[in-house]
């Protein structure tokens, strides 16, 4: 049985967890309603559930790297096999409602951020809860990486930023994490 509290703590949503292969997910959830054209990352869409599979350079297979639950503004049902039994979210769920759930579940917020793509609650586990105009948009959990990281700052043309922002929204990533993946992929080719 899937619970949001377990998902927010560990990234596990019922039987679905990071590192799974596409075929393992399909064996549990069946064929997706929609599949991305891009193959890396590959996105499988099951109504309000989106699963992102990524194959790092040198890896043999694409593995589940991000799990996202989408609530608004165009709410679609989440498959019963992964529907959280302890949380009923919808496009009208407010920040206060989510904060009340987090408090009741004993889950601490690491930080909060506001930006042009809405506001976010970031949890210590790495989960991110996104709001649009004060109501719930999505809850996502990217796969944790254990690699030490260095920060880099670059300027890109507005057109490049807008294209990256669009792709990031489609894949449930942030623009910086998308750029970081691209840089890492290119660096392994050197």
For range 118-138, the mean pLDDT: 91
Per-residue model confidence (pLDDT) at position 68: 96
**Within 10 Å of residue 97's Cβ, how many Cβ atoms?**
16
Q: For 21-82, give the DSSP string.
A: -HHHHHHHH-S-SEE-S-SSSEEEEETTEEEEEE--TT-SS-EEEEEEEE-SSS--PPPGGG
For the entire predicted model, the pTM comes to 0.74
Comparing 21 with 164, which gets the higher pLDDT? 21
For range 154-169, the mean pLDDT: 83
Q: How far apart are the first and last CA of the chain?
A: 45
Q: How big is the chain, counted in residues?
A: 190
Q: Summarize pLDDT for 71-80 with one digit per residue, the tens.
A: 987 889 999 9
Tokens of 36: 């991305």
Per-residue model confidence (pLDDT) at position 129: 95
Q: Summarize pLDDT for 78-115 with one digit per residue, the tens.
A: 999 999 999 999 999 999 999 999 999 999 988 887 77
Q: Do 109 and 123 touch, CB atoms closer than 8 A?
A: yes
> Helix axis angle, 175-188 relative to 158-171, nearest 10°?
100
* CA–CA separation, 103 and 117 (whole Å): 25
State what percent of residues in the chain have pLDDT above 90.
57
Q: Summarize pLDDT for 126-135 with one digit per residue, the tens.
A: 999 999 989 9
């Amino acid at each position: 049985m899937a619970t949001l509290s377990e998902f927010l703590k560990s990234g596990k949503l019922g039987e679905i967890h990071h590192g799974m292969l596409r075929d393992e997910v399909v064996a549990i959830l069946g064929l997706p309603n929609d599949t991305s054209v891009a193959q890396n990352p590959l996105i499988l869409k099951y109504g309000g559930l989106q699963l992102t599979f990524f194959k790092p350079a040198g890896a043999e297979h694409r593995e589940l790297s991000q799990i996202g639950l989408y609530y608004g503004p165009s709410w679609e049902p989440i498959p019963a096999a992964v529907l959280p039994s302890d949380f009923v979210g919808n496009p009208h769920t407010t920040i206060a409602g989510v904060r009340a759930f987090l408090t009741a579940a004993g889950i601490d917020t690491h930080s909060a951020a506001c930006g042009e793509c809405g506001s976010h609650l970031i949890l210590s586990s790495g989960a991110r809860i996104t709001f649009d105009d004060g109501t719930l948009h999505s809850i996502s959990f990217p796969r944790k990486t254990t690699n030490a990281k260095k920060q880099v700052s670059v300027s890109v043309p507005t057109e490049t930023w807008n294209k990256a922002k669009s792709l990031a929204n489609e894949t449930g990533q942030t623009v910086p994490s998308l750029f970081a993946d691209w840089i890492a992929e290119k660096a392994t080719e050197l």
